[in-house]
Structure 1
Amino acid sequence: RLVQLSDPVVIKPGASHKLSCQGFDFTFSDINIHWVRETSDGRFQWVGWIRYNGGSTGYHDSVKGRFTISRDNSNNMAYLQMTNVKPEDTARYYCARESH
């Protein structure tokens, strides 16, 4: 399971914020992690991913250059650093593990 450690926040346009999520009950360092977001109208959008070893990342074009995904396998943690936040980034954000 993955547990998100960030409470809901209101962020002003242009500001930055970091989201965190922690993995339990599986070998975190073996699994690719994705971030997705749900907009107010219920649509889901893939945000980006990070390889199990942190060696590769990929991002949706809308967040490329502004959002950075990282991980700390020693603590079973994944992060989404958001910078230069825009009104269209308003959403609920979720971390997800890739299934095998």
Structure 2
Amino acid sequence: MMDKNIAWNFIFVLLIHVWSEIKLDQSASVVKRPGETVKMSCVISGYRMTIYNIDWIRQRPGRALEWIGYMSPSRIVYEGSPSTRYLSISSLTAEDSAVYFCVRHPQ
């Protein structure tokens, strides 16, 4: 049944830097069932990842933006290479259904 599925839309932010274009590219949208794991990617170009961190935020339907940097450590894993960052969330529930964004951490 479709109502048992969790729809995932991943929209990532395109940022413009004074000296160069900073670009964060999104994963494709996916649908997952409760209890499954989702892995989102954020591909970075236009600046050195050693200088800036990437944060993840989400917006659940009808709610404000929410920084998820401290979401339950038992369910969330941050990993990545110098040009790609991943966010994995395990044991999905309906509360995890949201639009997720990766953003460059402010200096």
Which band: TM-score by shorter chain?
0.7 to 0.9
2:50 is equivalent to residue 41 of structure 1: no
What displacement does 1:42 show?
A: 4.1
Larger radius of gyration: 2
Equivalent AA in structure 1 for residue 62 of structure 2? D
Aligned counterpart, 2:3? none
Percent identity (aligned): 31
For 1:77 and 1:35, locate their aligned partners in 2 and report how far apart those are by CA, in whole Å. 13
Deviations 1:30-66 (CA, angstroms, capped at 9, x unpaired): 1111000011114211111xxxxxxxxxx23xx3310
Deviations 1:6-43 (CA, angstroms, capped at 9, x unpaired): 11111100001100011111112211110000111142
TM-score (norm 2): 0.73
Paired residue for 1:14, among 32, 35, 60?
35
For 2:63 and 2:74, locate their aligned partners in 1 and report how far apart those are by CA, in whole Å. 25
For 2:43 and 2:28, locate their aligned partners in 1 and report how far apart those are by CA, in whole Å. 14
2:10 is equivalent to residue 3 of structure 1: no
Alignment root-mean-square deviation, CA: 1.2
For 1:42 and 1:83, locate their aligned partners in 2 and report how far apart those are by CA, in whole Å. 22
Equivalent AA in structure 1 for residue 105 of structure 2? E
For 1:82 and 1:99, locate their aligned partners in 2 and report how far apart those are by CA, in whole Å. 24
2:37 is equivalent to residue 30 of structure 1: no
Aligned counterpart, 1:78? 85
SS in 1 for 2:88: strand
Aligned counterpart, 1:65? 74
TM-score (norm 1): 0.78
Equivalent AA in structure 2 for residue 64 of structure 1? P
Which residues of structure 2 form unaligned runs of 5+? 1-22
